[in-house]
Structure 1
Amino acid sequence: MSTPQFGPLPPRFVDLKKEIAASYPDFEANVTKAWGEILAEAEKITKEIASQGSQGVPEIKFDELGSLSDELVADIRRKGCLVIRDVVDDEEARTWQAWLREYVSKNPVDGIPEDDKQFFQLYWTKSQIRARSHPNVLAATTWLNKMYHSKNGDEVEDVDLEKPLMYADRFRIRHPGVQWDAHPPHVDGGGIERWEDKFFRGCFADILSGNWREHDPYDLQNRIHARSSLYKRPNQATVFRTYQGWLALSETAPNEGTLQVFPNVILSNAYTILRPFFSPKEGRSAESFNPDDWQFDISNPDFPGIYSFGEAFIGPRPNTATHPHLKLDETMVSVPKVYPGDMVFWHCDVIHAVEKQHVGKEDSTVMYIPAMPYTPINAAYVERQKESFLKGIAPPDFPTNKGEINCVGVGLVYDIVDPIGKQAMGFAVEVV
């Protein structure tokens, strides 16, 4: 798989840094103090993450969602990732996998790599429609949506966390033995927008004011208005997904092409948001955890991990050079082994990746299904997405493809069986 060619950031981003600095009282002093605290926290937390490995990713059962301890819920919120076991019956999940295999074998389909397609630009197979509208899947995503709240206690108008919507995404059938370089560590749902869009920036106001320990990645106030796609880049979501996720249709264990995560969303947010404002002093190592080796610096346009990509920008794509204190070569931990019907979720700000190696014996098959609550922006997108579904074309956020309306095994409206599934896909029904 070829690596896209990225360019430098435009000089105008110096003005963006100056604008941000001018927006917060005593910005330099406050963030410099915070930066030192974050480095100390990173030195400690990264060691803990590396030592725990996959065991540090919370695992719960679907039928336990309503009875988890406060301590476990707090752990999930802090880490921003989890495995939910037995969301869908094993046999049903295996059936969906078989249908996917039949679909890609009988139809001319888009996917990568071109000579051995495994990541498919397909959205409307019967398997995907059945999975997205499954009441257990929607119950799981609703539980995750309800992790969010208004930090200051004010009511957030026109938001219904109990009303799940569904964002149509793709699937993969990854073969053993194939090197996979397409998904290095990254964060979805907005790149430079995290600093450039004022609402998105507002999600990180506590960090930018120096009170990074007060940062709440589950606060709705600015999040529901945040614009995550200022530059209209294809494959850039324009909706608010509380959690990204996928449903396993096969067994997949660590080293078998599974998901990797950095399981501490508060630390990674704090570090990522302040990283552009600091550079190592001359002659000092960029890997130093000593705050005295770093200086406040807004003289250059760089936002580490953000890259020019044609007319748009891509990222954040942190790595050991741009974000050395996260120790990503040690802290990107693989999620525990999953079985058909299990689901994996990660908070929309979590750094995640896909393992490069797959040394297992079975194809690693997953369908991407995120958690998405009702908001005006999300509802408007689902209405456009519904029209794409009825026409069999790619959803609005994705590049134009061959279309699936004439494919053998394409999903149809009557494949949405449950009323809550119909509602989630934009077909107006009252769910009692």
Structure 2
Amino acid sequence: MSKADVVQRPAAALPSQFQSGALAAAPITPANVSNMTAAKIPSTTSTTATTSSSTTTASRPISISDLITSPSTAGSKRQRNEDHKSDRTKIRATRMDFAKIMDPPIVSFYGSTPIPLPSRFGHLKRRLVSGRETVLKASWDRLLAALRDEIAHIESHGTELMPMIDFSDIEDPSKVQPWSASLKRHGIGVIRGVVPPEAARAWVEETKKYLETNELELKPPPAQDPTCFDFFWTPAQVRSRAHPNVLRAQRFAMTLWKDTKDEFVATRYPITYADRIRIESAASDGIITVNGSRVAISPQDSLIAAAAATSSEEIAQVDNGSLERWEQDGYGRAGLYNSIFEGDWESYDEWDASGRVNATPDLYNGQGACSMLRLFQGIIALTEIEPGMIKILPSPKLSTVYFLLRPFFSPKEKAPEGGPSSEKWAAYLDPSNWMLDKEQSTIIHGAVAGHAQRVTSSFHPHLELKRSLIAPPTLPEGSYIIWHPDIAYQFSNTNYSTNARPTTSSGEPASTTSMLVYAPAAPLTQQNALYLARQRKAFLRGHPGPDFDSTGTGLGSEAPHTGRLTEKDIKEVGGEEALQAMGLAPWNLGKSITMTTDLKNTSPPSTSSSSSDPKDKNNTNKKDDEESSPSADGSLTPKTHAEVEVLKLANQILFPDRFDFYMPTRAPSRAASRATSPTPSRDREKDKDKGVKDSN
């Protein structure tokens, strides 16, 4: 299925204020907005000429103030020979055309009508509910009752549900226990003081200089999110990811997930995922503004911004795919949500990583859609976080179950006019008003191919986003906010229902520049190591992260930028572990655990020190749960069989010229158990064959 089948809109005539350059002079009035939101977004072909001409126009060098207040302004270009310049123009035009196809149909999220998908999604939904209609309706009724209590609980406790711990206390069991209990219950946590304040301030200034010094070919941020910039290798980002405190905090958080000894996932080994950066300023001089920031003035972006600015719709986002959560080739590969679709959502364990390791969260190669396993989404605040800057829905289980089951149900009576303020609202939300659709449509609410899941107040009324989205209090610079990967969140500049900037503790509008670095926590797995190899190449070339450059053109490259950090800088910040997290250095197995692949060996595993040489073939067995000693260079060494298996795979993937080909094996305890069981010889041989196939 083509991405354009889902996203692209038919061409339509633009409102008069967008014709002949009249946009700049046309004020945004209720009447104009009505006309704009009624019009369809132009198709890709209708905007190609405009895109091509705009991408070949040079402008003055960009400054940090231009970057923050006028994200549509492109920097001047470096001088190139004519052939090179022509090639770059063609590449840029191709990329822009592709980006138009991939742009989400944002206007659709502000109405009450969800987006129909291709017919195969109707078949998919029918397959998921077939034969389970009765149990699914019963589970839906139980869910709505539980969700009603959950929303009331969230509203009554507010920011209390966002536990906080100082980085200096993460080794103190008396402080960790209540913090981790709240994190597992509500899916959110804050670690204060991860980045020292003086370091955070220095990184912000270094990044400002980096952006002001270089002549950037700036791709404007989307109108619906005007402070999220496609930079990946600024000093603030590279130093944040490499800092030992950040890696330690990620390890601390990921080890709170359910133990998965039988899965090839190493939560004690965080790796870097190069994501974007958020830069926001209070300055505003644009005609169309969203939370004080001028957006790109193009016909399509103006339609989106105008619709957003006048909408009362609450919209939150859930990362790590959208349609993939329902598809067999997505999260269905490991059956992560099977219990939910079988009518037994109570048994779903949102903290079991085993169902996520082999899932595919990006089936459509969407620009910005994450293809790496992330156990936490997170941001590092390099400036003070004010209340309202970010809001999160603290319900990792019930909210997930709800948006997964919502596409199968419809209300008997439509939503009353006036929404939640109506006296009939409670009756509208009541389970008796909702029924399982006899004929499943192609609609999956808030989901389109190649984009994150959207949760909206119209499509998901039982989540009552105005009541359930909570914001942290004022947090100092250096704080690290993390949340469960299935949780919905919203940044202030995407909260169009209020169109207001965050305020300080005194109630005044925030006036300083804010800088937030996306820093998800990702464990080492085989799939993540494969992605890390691609990301390492992007870093060395100065190209965008692989998930953010779907065309592979390297458009927006930071390669020629003065002050771009190198491998040497990463090592100075975080040492060997930081290099390993970026795939720039192999993991040292040190005194590690290995095993034989001979399933007939019934003798207990022996203990022996293994060489750090990756080609040493004389390593012997060791107990699966024995602690290993630190390596000579101070980097972390493995202590479980699963960690050893993952590290060997990762080393072979990332450094094939230095490590022999390696085939992962079963854990010793499982092999020994099978070999010593009183199974008849024929059955034992079948088990042996099955074990070999599984290991392959």
User: Structure 1 length normalisation: TM-score?
Assistant: 0.91
**Structure 1 contact 127–411 (Cα < 8 Å) conserved:** no
Q: What residue is the counterpart of 1:145 in the other structure?
A: 254
Could you tell me how far apart the structure 2 residues matched to 1:283 and 1:5 are?
21
May I ask how many residue pairs the two structures share in their alignment?
420
Distance 2:125 2:517 in 1: 38
Q: Would you say 1:398 and 2:552 are equivalent positions?
A: no
State the SS of the aligned residue for 2:547.
Answer: coil
Q: Which runs of 5+ in 2 are unaligned?
A: 1-71, 73-102, 109-114, 285-289, 292-304, 309-313, 417-424, 494-499, 502-508, 589-634, 637-696
Give the stretch that moved more between structures: 56-65 or 277-286: 277-286
Match of 2:455 in 1: 318
Q: How does 1:149-168 map to 2 (within 5 A)?
A: 149-150=258-259, 155-168=261-274
- Note if 1:34 corresponds to 2:139: yes
Comparing both structures, which one devotes a greater share of its residues to helix? 2
Contact 1:165 1:374 in 2 (8 A): yes
Contact 1:55 1:336 in 2 (8 A): no
1:338 Cα deviation from its structure 2 partner: 1.7
Looking at structure 2, the residues matched to 54 and 282 of structure 1 have their Cα atoms a distance apart, in angstroms, of 34
Instruction: Give structure 1 stretches of 5+ with no counterpart.
Output: none
Q: Which whole-Å CA distance do the structure 1 matches of 2:278 and 2:161 have between them?
A: 25
Q: Counterparts of 1:425 and 1:313 in 2: how far apart (Å)?
A: 26
Q: Is the 8 A contact 2:576 2:585 kept in 1?
A: no
> Which position in structure 1 is the counterpart of 2:404?
273
Shift of 1:146: 1.4
Higher RCO structure (Cα 8 Å, ≥6 apart):
1
Say whether the 8 Å CA contact 1:156–1:220 is kept in structure 2: no
- Give distance in 2, aligned partners of 1:43 and 1:319: 17
| One-letter amino acid of the counterpart of residue 228, structure 1 | P
Shift of 1:313: 4.4
Kindly provide the CA deviation profile for residues 128-169 of structure 1, in whole angstroms up to 9, marking residues without a partner as x.
Answer: 22111111100111122212225xxx6333211111111011
User: Which of 1 and 2 has greater Rg?
Assistant: 2
Per-residue CA distance 1:386-411 (angstroms, 9 max, x = gap): 01100111121112432111112111
Q: Distance in 1 between matches of 2:377 and 2:152?
A: 26
Deviation at 1:35, TM superposition (A): 0.8
For 1:291 and 1:184, how far apart are their aligned partners in 2?
23
**Contact residue 320 and residue 452 of structure 2 kept, 8 A:** no
Give, in angstroms, the shift of residue 231 of structure 1: 0.9
Matched, 1:343 2:452: no
Q: 1:8 is matched with which residue?
A: 116
Distance 1:245 1:405, change over 3 A: same
**Who is 1:306 aligned against?**
447
Partner of 1:120: 229
- SS at 1:317's partner residue? strand
For the Cα contact (< 8 Å) 1:126–1:412, is it kept in 2?
A: no
1:58 equivalent in alignment to 2:163: yes
Is the Cα contact below 8 Å between 2:381 and 2:477 reproduced in 1?
yes
- Displacement of 1:5 after TM fit? 5.2
Q: Does 1:413 align with 2:518?
A: no
Aligned-residue offset at 1:299: 2.1
Q: Secondary structure at the match of 2:568?
A: helix
Paired AA for residue 251 in structure 2: T
SS in 2 for 1:176: coil
Query: Percent identity among equivalent residues?
Result: 32
Distance in 2, Cα, partners of 1:83 & 1:365: 17
| Aligned-partner Cα distance in 2 for 1:342–1:315 | 25
Q: Measured at CA, do residues 177 and 58 of structure 1 come closer, stay the same or move farther in structure 2, by a change above 3 Å?
A: farther
Equivalent residues of 1:122, 1:394 under 8 A apart: yes
- Name the residue aligned to 1:295: 435
Letter in 1 for 2:470: V
Q: Is 2:539 aligned against 1:385? A: no
**CA displacement 1:247-295 (0-9 Å, x = unmatched):** 111112113xx21100011111111111111111256768633211111
Contact residue 161 and residue 182 of structure 2 kept, 8 A: no
Q: Deviations over 1:331-358 (max 9, x none)?
A: 1111222211111111110100101332
The answer (yes or no) to whether the contact 1:43–1:289 under 8 Å persists in 2 is: no
Secondary structure in structure 1 of the residue aligned to 2:456: coil
Distance 1:49 1:283, change over 3 A: closer
Q: Report the CA distance shift for 1:284/1:423 in structure 2 as closer, same or farther (over 3 A).
A: closer
- Deviation of 1:106 after TM superposition, in Å, equals 1.4
SS at match of 2:517: strand
Shift of 1:78: 1.8
User: Is the contact between residue 330 and residue 361 of structure 2 (CA under 8 Å) also seen in structure 1?
Assistant: no
State the partner residue of 2:354.
Answer: 221
Amino acid at match of 2:356: R
Q: Contact 1:28–1:296 (CA<8 Å) still a contact in 2? A: yes
Q: Is the 8 A contact 2:321 2:362 kept in 1?
A: yes
Q: Aligned partners of 1:4 and 1:328: how far apart in 2?
A: 18
Please state if 1:82 is matched with 2:189: yes
Q: 1:327 to 1:137 in 2, by over 3 A?
A: same
What SS does the aligned partner of 1:353 have? strand
